[in-house]
Every structure is written in C-alpha cells, then in structure tokens.
Amino acid sequence: MQLKTEEIEDIVLIEIQEERMDAHNSGTFKEQMLALFDEGKCKLIIDLSAVRFVDSSGLGALVSGFKNASAREGSLKLCGLQPQVRSMFELTRLHRVFEIFVSVDEAQESF
C-alpha cells in the first residue's frame, strides 16, 4: 500500500495514499504497521483524507494496528475521514473503538 510516513518526535504520522482500502491492499498495510511496531514505534496517527472507499478488510487492518499499538502501551488514532468513510465506522460501531480527529494537528495534540 502506498503510504507517506513522517516521524514527529515519537509519533509516526501515516498518510494513506490510496483511494481505496480493500482486501487487495489491506494485508500489506497490516504488515507495514507490524514493521513499525517491530522497530518499537507504537504511537501512530493514520491520516485517511485521501481514502474514498474502505471495506471490512480495510477496517480489519486498522483494528489490527489499534490492538497492536494498545498492547505496546501506545495508541493508534485516526484523522481526515471523508463523510462516507466516517459512516463505515458508524455502520460497524468502530467509531466507539477508535479515537477519531478532524485534523492531523488535533490528533497530534491529543497524545
């Protein structure tokens, strides 16, 4: 999956550069997050602003990252959700699991 990552102190900001998150690319995304956890990074912000479509596999990859971050006493926060992507979290009640922010800045301040 095409990502742009940036480190701000101990936080990793991951900008997803795909229009679509589905079973075709979310497996790789999970592995890309695992590589970060292996390096000891466990505070992630995922910027979804480029994402127009996410399916249950994409959500599953985010849940996987969330659980791994939490298990390492870190956290995974989301920002930049387009309205239709936001409604996927509501449909699956995952908006009650994730911390969701409007902007990268707000997500960053919350750490």
Partner 1 sequence: MPETVEVDITIPNQTRYLGLIGRIGEDLVHSLGRYTGDREVLAYHLNLVLTEAITNAICHANENDPNKRIQIKISATEETLSIKVFDEGEGFDLAKRQLGDMCETDECGRGIHIIRRLMDQVNYRRSDKRNVLEMVKKLY
Binding site for partner 1 (CB under 8 A): 20, 22-24, 53, 55-57, 59-61, 63-64, 66-67, 84, 87-88, 91-94, 96-97
The smaller minimum CB distance to partner 1, of residues 99 and 108, is found at 99
Nearest distance in Å: CB 6, partner 1: 26
Q: Angle formed by the axes of helices 26-38 and 56-71, to 10°?
A: 10
Measured distance CA(74)–CA(68) in Å, rounded: 8
Nearest distance in Å: CB 99, partner 1: 14
Nearest distance in Å: CB 2, partner 1: 14
Contact 55, 23 (CB under 8 A): yes
Encoded tokens for 20: 């679509």
